[in-house]
Structure 1
């Protein structure tokens, strides 16, 4: 990460943004977020303020308005170039104008231009977006308000940086001169159990006795040192639901906004016998970000590991958890990439030891974040027969060419599943969620005090689930009603993971008001069927959130289609513009424009430009070793609007380079202090443990104390493996999600030894360690 680029405010210069107020309305799995930004020009000349900010990658911006004095102007959606020209024309004729546009490279970064604000004038800008809430490993629904914008790394020689690259002004989080307030109103068909956050919250306030409605607020004094994350927990969250939203009264029937739209939320349950038969096949490719920003801490609290150390611990856990008979490789990437092995190798004691030695030596020393080349390299390698390819991608997500990466993953989606992990604050949701969605995988975000390991092991559990194939969705509606799917077909289903589908309902039924949908698929060669009935009578007062999310889903599919055609056919782009204008939802080819037609005079002289600084994480001690000067200048090119303006004066902030040295010798394996990690590091690839001094140390015993109680006829390795299992179940149950696969391997190994006296072993192990673990609990 580099923070010394882009425009920064000159000392003593007043910053035009004063405050941001956010109101969130959550209905089940969908949130509508309304932000109001207050600006004030305290200077002697007319001012243009530029503010670059992130939004969740799945968000659909659907309303934008500006208020100057008592006059409110609601923006309209127009084709992007036309909107930019109208903005420029308005400024040159002395009118106030507001332009909101999506970045050309990444759909989760927006730029807001507040133009020609007279001296002493105040302006209030309001922005609404709708977004789906992502489901977490513990069934919580995650709403993230990105309050931190990390600069994105633009690959050298990339042609995508020339267009609307957003200019970012960055200051340390504590120096952000504007405030943030946030309040949320939550309503759900199921009772709300609790709401949690990584930031201090005021107490949850229930509005009814059923606990299906509640309000909650962010405590005052937010520091802008992290994204604001809300986690919502409902009872019975796995129940499938359908919401039918009424058409917009003013829209033409037959158009998307003029017909009802249905949103289906599906949670397929797999048969238990299938879930217990995890596959032992697969080619597991662990692709790890080794750019300079991975030296930064996971969070700003005390005792935080840096990101690369957390990745090293996670790789240890993954390498120990892989099933015998699979293949694997580890690829580190930055400005260049390095593979541990020339091609994937079979998993064995020898290859595992070799990989673990290299993991210990792994450093964040490969420069910037260029993800495209390592992916191209992986896709150029032929897939192995009967070893389904599973890609695990770890990155802090500071990538500028997101759309290019997503297109590459989509082109190769048939060859693999991708499980992606966004590490630390400010990771690009568009990138992390996008690659998982395109490659039929699953995305996870690791922020604040989160531990990476449980989330990664959940994804490994998904990767080891049998693949769901032949998915079909059949709609049963009255014959007068037709269904047009707005979402791409469902290509992936995991146990306990939600799939959302949007569809437009055209025509009206004279009698029958019931509809149903049947989802069929094949799992481990068994046919499975799930059915959900729903009422065709639309729910009123849903604020058009479902329509807009349906429009956003269709727009995203069409944008990908347009990029695949490389603009050769105008069809997809024209459809996107038409749909975006009709639904009022942002897209890559449109922008929001609002012009306040006051009695302004034509502009005399230069319009002052001020870039409002965006909070960046104050990552003291981050090293920039390995960055070339061309990388430092990376993606901070001026946007097209900047090119049309007079030359800007840029003042670079001071940046203290940390003292960490990449050339320091690799630490030996001795300092692993966490006894759980120590025990894991001692396990053999087969799943067994050896009776040795290092094992005794973890069990806080001497070697003699550990050897003595071993039943006479039992092999030393079996005894050591039983002791390790008893210790895990006796002392580390809270971390079971992390070690469950190691334990499964150990149990399989013991069973293969055909030991007669397992009960005696478990009993002797309990006595030695002071535990009461039952043989059945161990799975023996």
Structure 2
């Protein structure tokens, strides 16, 4: 490789030297301080532009620059005004700094460092606060996005100002700056553990109660993945309330001037409800088949692609659906397809038809046009008595995030949406936004994560009875009122947190208490839970709660702006700008701008533009599997990075020998458009679906289960169990039919050999047990004993979920 020094893919010097990140987690709220250190080693003044990701729900609340001994703190201004201030400063030879959020996707920011003189250094300090999402295993997830894959811009969206953000991306191995990361965690409850797919130094407790701890990223971290922390507390499901005093300098009656309370509510449902699953529902599965889904999943040793993992997951999902429900499967890229014209009843015939088509699905549909299939799904009438559950699987690299989320919000009353972000660089704004507005749950599959257990956890949520008639009432001292800032709670799941923000007005004594009551109906039974809390403000919160509340209001107003007419949009935009400036929190219509107005000579010479590359998914040959040589490149900087890497690593021969390209979703779409014969394109350019040489033993067994829940005694089952046909046939008790025997053998094998993967097969096993009970078969207890003998297991009858009468019949 001929690359030396700090060079971009275009062989230009990179002024960004290092990134330092300090994280402070208090219970479920994170404050993140990032310091970006720049140095200009060129002989000309430069303007460095860095486009990078942040969590989609982050509230950016501080931006400053330090040059020498001087610190310049940025102001929040209306975006166009901030840009004009920045441009005026540069034209007059002053140093200036601009931080702005993309208008199309709230998780992409652009940082411009202007007029950095030769030999000069600058440190940029960026601070934001964010809530930590609760995972299905009760862990709190913090993600520092490091990977930024170029976002696909759907057709017709190019006119938007915010859609023109250009991303300069290179593989992680070519990123020329380092990252240091440290975290401090504190909570009223003990910190039980902190996990990450990145290498961490050992957790250090700061007190004997283990309620405070620190952890650092181990040296040598590569930029081929986001930095993800999973934080676990003991007794995590405790409702809490934080009352934060207003800002002394703010006007009383304003959001920043009054106290704000943040409530964390954790509903706990009765065990009888949790152990039952609904047999109703319309399950619509929406699968991303864009070119980027052919990337090899990180840490998979090159064995499995994102689309391959998704196919296996759909197999488990289809086998786990209850009899009596309805389903359909959509897939999308530049266009979209559906297996059935409309949702069909779940049966052996429809399940097998769907599985055959799923098995043939590849990442061969081009771009990432998710909006149109969503609109088509919502245009289909709902089936009476079958509540709609939408499962969305995507690597989340789209540019029209807000438009997509808005469509889900408009249809939130008719369905629940469960979203899954696949791979590094998946947009947190898109994945979290889909679930939040759709009243469902979001999951991220990164690193060596298996997709299947996370999806099956969400299926459990979807099969819970829907909570209805949710209401929140406040009981506060006389003279104190609560103005709720959060939208109404539309969905509750067992053990999952719901957050409520409210602005408090009026006076109360420090000893005063408030109470919030949540009432709801579950499975026909009325339930309620109460949270009592002190109105005394918490100490040293740094306006974190106010800023999170401001961010919530800003996001809600931005969604209104996308729904209204031109005049209404102007009014909403004005409100957003006022709230953003008042709270110091970023928005789509404002920007942070800082100008160095200290005395000094104007910076001389023409200003040279330098793009700072962001790391993209994968590195080295892992990346090359996602982006091979191409015969038709677009103008994206992404493609320039691909060209440069290929030139350095593989030489010119790659270009002449290349037969196809997966360089980006947009490339695939353009390749398709270039071909006048669609079939010719499919035959010559489409990437074949990789076939597994040896399917995972669990999936082999699952693939043989019938829709009703039973298995059939045949050679395929015997092979999946690791036995010969004679071994399983000759040991069958004579009084039991073959399907009952086969089903008991499969259940014993699952419990005996795949106990560690129980989350993946538990629902389909429950379906098998229900089928067995419906057969009212005799001698089932004898079957369990015989099955243990032939398989070499010691699985107890009650472990299988089977209980018997004295005659040996199932109860």
| TM score, norm. by length of structure 2 | 0.90
The equivalent of 1:622 in structure 2 is 625
2-side partners of 1:392 and 1:10: how far apart?
Answer: 38
Counterpart contact for 2:163–2:400, Cα < 8 Å: no
1:733 aligns with 2:755: yes
Shift of 1:165: 2.5
Alpha-carbon spacing, 1:537–1:160, altered in 2? closer, same or farther (3 Å) = farther
1:153 aligns with 2:152: yes
The equivalent of 1:141 in structure 2 is 140
1-side partners of 2:533 and 2:690: how far apart?
Answer: 60
The equivalent of 2:335 in structure 1 is 336
1-side partners of 2:82 and 2:161: how far apart?
Answer: 19
Structure of higher RCO (CA pairs closer than 8 Å, 6+ residues apart): 1
1-side partners of 2:729 and 2:157: how far apart?
Answer: 62
The equivalent of 1:248 in structure 2 is 247
Of 645, 650, 653, 2:644 maps to 653
Structure 2 SS opposite 1:568: helix
The equivalent of 1:721 in structure 2 is 743
Shift of 1:663: 4.9
Shift of 1:571: 2.9
The equivalent of 1:707 in structure 2 is 729
Shift of 1:302: 1.6
Alpha-carbon spacing, 1:304–1:258, altered in 2? closer, same or farther (3 Å) = farther
Q: How do residues 95-494 of structure 1 correspond to structure 2 at under 5 angstroms?
A: 95-163=94-162, 165-494=164-493
1-side partners of 2:604 and 2:69: how far apart?
Answer: 26
2-side partners of 1:94 and 1:285: how far apart?
Answer: 57
Q: How do residues 564-643 of structure 1 correspond to structure 2 at under 5 angstroms?
A: 564-569=563-568, 570-599=570-599, 606-617=606-617, 618=619, 619-622=622-625, 632-633=634-635
Of 772, 780, 802, 1:750 maps to 772
Counterpart contact for 1:153–1:369, Cα < 8 Å: yes
1:18 aligns with 2:40: no
Structure 1 SS opposite 2:572: helix
2-side partners of 1:406 and 1:593: how far apart?
Answer: 29
Moved more, 13-22 or 305-314: 13-22
List per-residue Cα deviations over 1:304-333 (Å, max 9, x = no partner): 411000001001101111111111111110
Structure 2 SS opposite 1:777: coil
Shift of 1:157: 2.3
2-side partners of 1:650 and 1:347: how far apart?
Answer: 47
Alpha-carbon spacing, 1:664–1:605, altered in 2? closer, same or farther (3 Å) = closer
2-side partners of 1:712 and 1:677: how far apart?
Answer: 29
The equivalent of 1:644 in structure 2 is none
Shift of 1:544: 1.3
Shift of 1:567: 3.7
Alpha-carbon spacing, 1:754–1:773, altered in 2? closer, same or farther (3 Å) = same
- The answer for unaligned runs of 5 or more in structure 2 is 1-6, 647-653, 663-683, 803-811
Structure 2 SS opposite 1:501: strand
2-side partners of 1:688 and 1:511: how far apart?
Answer: 63
Counterpart contact for 1:92–1:603, Cα < 8 Å: no
Shift of 1:357: 0.8
2-side partners of 1:81 and 1:666: how far apart?
Answer: 48
2-side partners of 1:500 and 1:577: how far apart?
Answer: 25
Alpha-carbon spacing, 1:723–1:557, altered in 2? closer, same or farther (3 Å) = same
2-side partners of 1:684 and 1:351: how far apart?
Answer: 11
Alpha-carbon spacing, 1:404–1:479, altered in 2? closer, same or farther (3 Å) = same
1-side partners of 2:125 and 2:690: how far apart?
Answer: 52
Structure 1 SS opposite 2:264: strand
Q: How do residues 673-688 of structure 1 correspond to structure 2 at under 5 angstroms?
A: 673-688=695-710
Structure 2 SS opposite 1:52: strand
2-side partners of 1:397 and 1:659: how far apart?
Answer: 20
1-side partners of 2:364 and 2:704: how far apart?
Answer: 28
2-side partners of 1:565 and 1:556: how far apart?
Answer: 15
Counterpart contact for 2:45–2:605, Cα < 8 Å: no
Shift of 1:9: 2.9
Counterpart contact for 2:157–2:163, Cα < 8 Å: no
Shift of 1:486: 1.4
Alpha-carbon spacing, 1:580–1:203, altered in 2? closer, same or farther (3 Å) = same
Counterpart contact for 2:629–2:643, Cα < 8 Å: no
2-side partners of 1:295 and 1:259: how far apart?
Answer: 51
Counterpart contact for 1:485–1:502, Cα < 8 Å: yes
Alpha-carbon spacing, 1:777–1:577, altered in 2? closer, same or farther (3 Å) = same
Moved more, 695-704 or 459-468: 695-704
Shift of 1:419: 0.5
List per-residue Cα deviations over 1:263-300 (Å, max 9, x = no partner): 11111001122223311111111110000001101104
Structure 2 SS opposite 1:737: helix
1-side partners of 2:115 and 2:565: how far apart?
Answer: 37
List per-residue Cα deviations over 1:577-623 (Å, max 9, x = no partner): 11111111111111001111134555666311100111112343435
Structure 1 SS opposite 2:19: strand
1-side partners of 2:381 and 2:632: how far apart?
Answer: 37
Alpha-carbon spacing, 1:554–1:40, altered in 2? closer, same or farther (3 Å) = same
2-side partners of 1:699 and 1:230: how far apart?
Answer: 38
Alpha-carbon spacing, 1:485–1:628, altered in 2? closer, same or farther (3 Å) = farther
Counterpart contact for 2:362–2:688, Cα < 8 Å: no
Structure 1 SS opposite 2:122: strand
List per-residue Cα deviations over 1:408-453 (Å, max 9, x = no partner): 1111111111100000000000000001111111100000010000
Counterpart contact for 1:92–1:602, Cα < 8 Å: no
1-side partners of 2:685 and 2:377: how far apart?
Answer: 27
Moved more, 452-461 or 135-144: 135-144
The equivalent of 2:711 in structure 1 is 689
List per-residue Cα deviations over 1:220-262 (Å, max 9, x = no partner): 2221110001111100001111111122222222211112111
List per-residue Cα deviations over 1:648-694 (Å, max 9, x = no partner): x99963546678986577677x8443211110000001000000111
Moved more, 159-168 or 577-586: 159-168
- The answer for unaligned runs of 5 or more in structure 1 is 1-7, 638-648
Moved more, 615-624 or 369-378: 615-624
